[in-house]
């Protein structure tokens, strides 16, 4: 394959005579495989020159695959100036890691708001497809691409690209996990990194700092040159390109770093070629003919971590505050304890998905508690992040009785810790959803199968007064008030997966969790999507909102593990609220927090305000759920990609009010031409998508398209529109729909392109 560097600088562009040799544009590298597949890595300012060269040298529609490791500005700031993206014949497939609580599309469009740029992302004439990546693999034609999380201050992936026996790895932003000197690396993260780079023919790697500079840049997310050389040597790399040059480094400084790296390679007795990547340089990469090993997971499978449980074990309030400042933004449930013994007492009840443990605890070394905590949970592979006191030496990384999954030195960077936690949760709980315990309630007769429903138990009133009185919400109540609260209550033990509350049913009780965990989901109106609202654990209540509103239940509550609840009758709970202002205020604070979080989640799935249809995000969620049932039933689907013709000209000529009427007309025509079980959405500014379930092939497609066109004509006349509404409709059919909609949308778009300059269907 052929590789060309269009931008090699990190952080910020640095034009000028002193940087002209190695280049001043920010990150952009082009790969052209032997079969003509064009891959662009990052869209820093270097992508502008690449786009201009593409227009000069290549005719016809462009099909480009843009891979973005993360969305920090120096890796996306050139995208608004990438000329092919403005052309109607261009197909631009963008792959990358999503940012914190922001999609890939949202991150790109943020810098193209009118406040910053005259053209919005949605106004680009090219066909743009977005694919958010996790750690794993995917294919672009015959090109095999692997991804792995890197150690940076934002969710970042590196790429390993293999085609025709040649492999190129691209690592634009990465920091050592530990400062172990090569050639032996002790940190598990560094070992994973070496394995990912093993035997690649060309490694393009972040080498921003000298070793002296790195001592003052810990936690900034970039690598010193010694580490990069030693990692490449350990991985058996053939050629190493030093990349992501520091903006403070002029050409002379980069030249000295290049020479230093070559001397280090020679001293190691290696013949590995080392050079500093320079803007405009092209090179041919010939491979060893190695066949890539198929990773276990697809990089295209979304692995939501929202609701994951993190147990923090430290007596350092500053550490807890730093962690709590970043992790809740990802929807994680945090619990902190101050000692290893406290963690052992509570770990079975809390059932965390990840542990963060301080190296030194009041009752011993943090590492000594790792194996007992894993044993108490029955999870030998539970990820554990150990907060150490420094990065000098390697003796603290391993001990005879315990090995942590990851290590982070203090003082740590909260964003760096956040990315580490995000990576480990995606690797563990994210692959198959949140881990659910398999324990069930015991049967009363050992000869009978376990119970499949709740078991009611007699409440020992005296012991309950003492136990539930320690729950923060109920702490203001006196012993007499607590006794009245539980006098008519019933304890129930639920097995995993049991529905305690169903959305829409009437309620006459409030539930207090005595042990275990439940998940709360709420259906999106007029759609099959259920939105995850959160998890509740020991000492928390649910079911109170329906009681206070005197309305049916608005959400569904399901157990995640064996869960014990105290079922408190409605009248007793309301009486307790009326009797205690402190209890009422405590509940009000809880409700305010829950409603705020729920509104933020549900807003992501709010219908398009103009057409009332689901938007892009909701469509992708609904697609996954609907097609899962289709695959189980061995049925087929039709996908229509609908593009309104000349909407911009309609707005310019007739005004936006008419343009809005056109969009509403298209939405209504699609809805009227489909069944209630089908899925119609507004996918973009002038784009719609229709997923028709259990529909046949071309015959059904022709019937449906004809019906849509008839509806469009009839509605345009009925509503008095001053023009005929025209649409181009691309069609694709699948007997085995993929798990995500991306591939079907791409095929439907291809069909649309073939029709764009021909007859409109």
Distance CA 619, CA 621 (A): 5
Query: Can you tell me whether residue 248 is helix, strand or coil?
Result: coil
Give the rounded distance of the alpha carbon of 358 from its chain centre. Answer: 27
Q: What is the pLDDT of residues 515-539, one digit of tens each?
A: 888 888 776 554 444 566 778 888 8
How far is CA 12 from each of CA 75, 172, 437, rounded to the nearest angstrom? Answer: 10, 14, 48
What mean pLDDT is reported for the chain?
84
> Please, where are the H alpha helices in 581-697?
581-603, 616-632, 647-654, 656-672
Instruction: Tell me what pLDDT residue 530 has.
Output: 57
> Any idea which architecture 616-756 has in CATH?
2-Layer Sandwich (3.30)
Q: What is the pLDDT of residues 237-273, one digit of tens each?
A: 999 999 999 999 999 999 999 999 999 999 999 999 9
For 726, the token pair is: 């025209």
Give the rounded distance of the alpha carbon of 700 from its chain centre. Answer: 36
Torsion angle of C-alpha atoms 311, 176, 411, 214, degrees rounded to 10: -170
- The DSSP annotation for 499-558 comes to EEE-TT----EEEEEEES-EEEEEEPTTSS-EEEEEEE-TT-EESHHHHHHTS---SEEE
The CATH number, out of the four listed (3.40.30.160, 3.60.15.10, 3.40.50.2300, 3.90.76.10), of the domain defined by the range 2-284: 3.60.15.10
Considering only CA atoms, which of 672, 654, 530, 675 is closest in space to residue 611? Answer: 672
Flag whether pLDDT at 92 surpasses 50. Answer: yes
Distance CA 461, CA 457 (A): 12
Instruction: Tell me what pLDDT residue 459 has.
Output: 43
DSSP label at 392?
S
CB 186 within 8 A of CB 180: yes
Using a pLDDT cut of 70, give the percent of the chain over it: 87
Q: For residue 670, report the phi and psi dihedrals to the nearest 5 degrees.
A: -65, -40
Q: In the structure, what pLDDT confidence band is assigned to residue 106 with cuts at 50, 70 and 90?
A: confident
Instruction: Tell me what pLDDT residue 25 has.
Output: 97
Distance CA 205, CA 172 (A): 6
Q: In the structure, what pLDDT confidence band is assigned to residue 195 with cuts at 50, 70 and 90?
A: very high
Q: What is the pLDDT of residues 560-580, one digit of tens each?
A: 777 888 889 999 999 999 999
Q: In the structure, what pLDDT confidence band is assigned to residue 632 with cuts at 50, 70 and 90?
A: low
Cα angle 621-643-41, degrees, rounded to a multiple of 5? 65
Flag whether pLDDT at 394 surpasses 50. Answer: no
Q: Which residue has the tokens 């659910």?
A: 436
Q: What is the pLDDT of residues 222-231, one digit of tens each?
A: 999 999 999 9
Helix/strand/coil percent split, the chain, to 5? 35, 25, 40
Flag whether pLDDT at 296 surpasses 70. Answer: no
Pairing of strands 384-388, 354-358: parallel
Instruction: Tell me what pLDDT residue 162 has.
Output: 95
Distance CA 442, CA 455 (A): 9
CB 556 within 8 A of CB 499: yes
Considering only CA atoms, which of 435, 588, 574 is closest in space to residue 507? Answer: 574
- The DSSP annotation for 406-467 comes to EEEESSPPHHHHHHHHHHHHHHTTTTSSS------PPPSSTTSPPPSS-EEE---HHHHHHH
Cross-strand bridge partners of residue 102: 99
Q: Which residue has the tokens 């949970």?
A: 377
Residues contacting 409, CB < 8 A, separation 6+: 178, 218, 387, 388, 389, 390, 391
Flag whether pLDDT at 159 surpasses 90. Answer: yes
Flag whether pLDDT at 642 surpasses 90. Answer: yes
Q: What is the pLDDT of residues 654-668, one digit of tens each?
A: 999 999 999 999 999
Q: Do domains 455-596 and 616-756 have the same CATH topology?
A: no
For 426, the token pair is: 């995606």
- The DSSP annotation for 474-513 comes to GTTS-HHHHHHHHTT-EEEEE-TT-EEE-TT----EEEEE
Instruction: Tell me what pLDDT residue 758 has.
Output: 57
Q: Which residue has the tokens 């000098």?
A: 392
Buried b (16+ CB within 10 A) or exposed e, 110-143: ebbeeeeeeeebeebebbbbbbbbbbbbbebeeb
Distance CA 142, CA 150 (A): 25
Q: Which of 102-106, 682-686, 723-727 has the lowest mean pLDDT?
A: 102-106
568: cis peptide before it, omega within 30°?
A: no
For 488, the token pair is: 């008519």
Flag whether pLDDT at 50 surpasses 90. Answer: yes
Distance CA 470, CA 463 (A): 12
DSSP label at 398?
B
CB 624 within 8 A of CB 637: no
The CATH number, out of the four listed (3.30.1330.60, 2.60.120.10, 2.60.420.10, 3.30.1510.10), of the domain defined by the range 455-596: 2.60.120.10
Instruction: Tell me what pLDDT residue 433 has.
Output: 36
Query: Can you tell me whether residue 191 is helix, strand or coil?
Result: helix
In terms of average pLDDT, the best of 15-29, 493-507, 528-542, 613-627 is: 15-29
Phi-psi region of 165 (alpha: psi -120 to 50; beta: other; left: phi over 0): left
DSSP label at 713?
H
Instruction: Tell me what pLDDT residue 553 has.
Output: 81
Instruction: Tell me what pLDDT residue 399 has.
Output: 46
In terms of average pLDDT, the best of 40-54, 336-350, 695-709 is: 40-54
Question: What separation, in Å, do the N-terminal and C-terminal C-alpha atoms of the chain show?
Answer: 40
Considering only CA atoms, which of 86, 87, 94, 90 is closest in space to residue 69? Answer: 94
Q: Which residue has the tokens 């965390």?
A: 352
How far is CA 348 from each of CA 175, 374, 535, rounded to the nearest angstrom? Answer: 35, 10, 16
Q: In the structure, what pLDDT confidence band is assigned to residue 604 with cuts at 50, 70 and 90?
A: low
Considering only CA atoms, which of 754, 690, 702 is closest in space to residue 728? Answer: 754
Domain ranges of the chain: 2-284, 309-427, 455-596, 616-756
Q: What is the pLDDT of residues 433-480, one digit of tens each?
A: 333 232 222 333 333 333 445 555 444 444 455 567 778 888 888 888
Instruction: Tell me what pLDDT residue 454 has.
Output: 56
Flag whether pLDDT at 362 surpasses 90. Answer: yes
Distance CA 570, CA 504 (A): 17
Considering only CA atoms, which of 174, 123, 135, 177 is closest in space to residue 152? Answer: 174
Instruction: Tell me what pLDDT residue 434 has.
Output: 33
CB 254 within 8 A of CB 108: no
**CATH superfamily to which 309-427 belongs:** Response regulator (3.40.50.2300)
Q: For residue 531, report the phi and psi dihedrals to the nearest 5 degrees.
A: -95, 130
* Burial class of residue 473, CB neighbours in 10 A (0-12, 13-18, 19+): middle
For 303, the token pair is: 């692995």
Q: What is the pLDDT of residues 70-79, one digit of tens each?
A: 999 999 999 9
Instruction: Tell me what pLDDT residue 100 has.
Output: 63
């Amino acid at each position: 394959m052929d590789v060309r560097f269009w931008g090699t600088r990190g952080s910020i562009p640095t034009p000028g005579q002193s940087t002209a040799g190695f280049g001043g544009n920010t990150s952009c590298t082009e790969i052209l495989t032997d079969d003509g597949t064009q891959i662009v890595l990052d869209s820093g300012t270097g992508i502008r020159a690449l786009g201009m060269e593409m227009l000069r040298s290549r005719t016809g529609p462009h099909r480009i695959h843009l891979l973005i490791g993360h969305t920090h500005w120096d890796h996306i700031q050139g995208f608004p100036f990438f000329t092919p993206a403005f052309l109607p014949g261009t197909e631009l497939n963008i792959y990358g890691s999503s940012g914190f609580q922001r999609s890939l599309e949202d991150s790109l469009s943020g810098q193209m708001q009118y406040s910053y740029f005259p053209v919005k992302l949605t106004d680009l004439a090219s066909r743009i497809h977005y694919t958010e990546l996790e750690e794993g693999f995917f294919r672009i034609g015959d090109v095999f691409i692997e991804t792995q999380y890197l150690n940076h201050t934002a969710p970042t992936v590196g790429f390993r690209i293999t085609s025709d026996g040649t492999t190129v790895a691209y690592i634009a932003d990465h920091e050592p996990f530990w400062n172990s000197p090569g050639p032996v690396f002790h940190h598990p993260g560094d070992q994973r990194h070496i394995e990912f780079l093993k035997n690649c023919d060309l490694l393009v790697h972040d080498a921003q700092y000298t070793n002296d500079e790195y001592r003052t840049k810990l936690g900034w997310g970039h690598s010193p040159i010694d580490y990069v050389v030693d990692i490449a040597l350990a991985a058996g790399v053939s050629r190493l390109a030093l990349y992501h040059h520091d903006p403070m480094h002029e050409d002379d400084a980069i030249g000295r770093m290049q020479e230093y790296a070559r001397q280090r390679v020679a001293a190691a007795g290696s013949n590995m070629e080392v050079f500093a990547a320079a803007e405009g340089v092209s090179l041919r990469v010939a491979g060893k003919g190695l066949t890539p090993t198929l990773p276990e997971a697809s990089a295209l499978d979304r692995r939501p971590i929202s609701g994951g449980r993190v147990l923090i074990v430290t007596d350092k309030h500053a550490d807890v505050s730093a962690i709590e400042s970043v992790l809740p933004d990802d929807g994680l449930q945090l619990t902190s304890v101050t000692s290893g013994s406290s963690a052992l007492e509570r770990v079975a009840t809390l059932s965390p998905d990840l542990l963060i443990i301080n190296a030194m605890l009041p009752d011993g070394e943090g590492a000594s508690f790792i194996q007992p905590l894993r044993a108490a949970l029955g999870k030998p592979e539970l990820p554990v992040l150990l907060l150490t006191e420094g990065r000098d030496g390697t003796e603290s990384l391993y001990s005879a009785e315990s090995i942590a999954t990851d290590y982070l030195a203090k003082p740590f960077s909260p964003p760096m810790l956040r990315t580490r936690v995000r990576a480990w949760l995606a690797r563990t709980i994210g692959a198959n959803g949140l881990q659910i315990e398999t324990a069930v309630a015991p049967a009363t007769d050992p000869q009978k199968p376990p119970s499949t429903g709740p078991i009611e138990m007699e409440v020992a009133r005296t012991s309950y007064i003492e136990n539930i009185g320690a729950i923060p919400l109920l702490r203001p109540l006196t012993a007499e008030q607590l006794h009245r609260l539980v006098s008519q209550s019933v304890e129930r033990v639920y097995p995993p997966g049991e529905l305690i509350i169903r959305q829409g049913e009437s309620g006459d009780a409030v539930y207090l969790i005595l042990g275990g965990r439940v998940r709360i989901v709420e259906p999106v109106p007029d759609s099959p999507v259920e939105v995850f609202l959160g998890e509740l654990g020991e000492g928390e209540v649910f079911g109170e909102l329906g009681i206070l509103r005197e309305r049916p239940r608005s959400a569904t509550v399901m157990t995640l593990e064996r869960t014990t609840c105290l079922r408190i009758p409605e009248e007793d709970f309301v009486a307790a609220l009326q009797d205690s202002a402190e209890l009422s205020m405590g509940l009000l604070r809880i409700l305010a927090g829950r409603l705020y979080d729920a509104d933020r989640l549900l807003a992501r799935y709010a219908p398009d305000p103009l057409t009332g249809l689901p938007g892009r995000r909701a469509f992708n969620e609904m697609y996954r759920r609907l097609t899962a049932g289709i695959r189980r039933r061995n049925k087929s689907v039709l996908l229509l990609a609908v593009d309104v013709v000349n909407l911009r000209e309609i707005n310019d000529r007739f005004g936006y009010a008419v343009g809005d009427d056109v969009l509403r007309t298209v939405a209504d025509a699609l809805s009227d031409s489909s069944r209630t079980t089908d899925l119609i959405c507004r996918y973009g500014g002038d784009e719609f998508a229709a997923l028709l379930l259990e529909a046949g092939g071309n015959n059904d497609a022709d019937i449906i398209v004809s019906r849509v066109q008839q509806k469009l004509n009839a509605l345009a006349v009925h509503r008095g529109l001053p023009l005929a509404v025209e649409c181009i409709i691309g069609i694709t059919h699948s007997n085995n729909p993929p798990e995500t909609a991306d591939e079907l949308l791409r095929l439907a778009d291809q069909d649309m392109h073939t029709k764009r300059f021909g007859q409109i269907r």
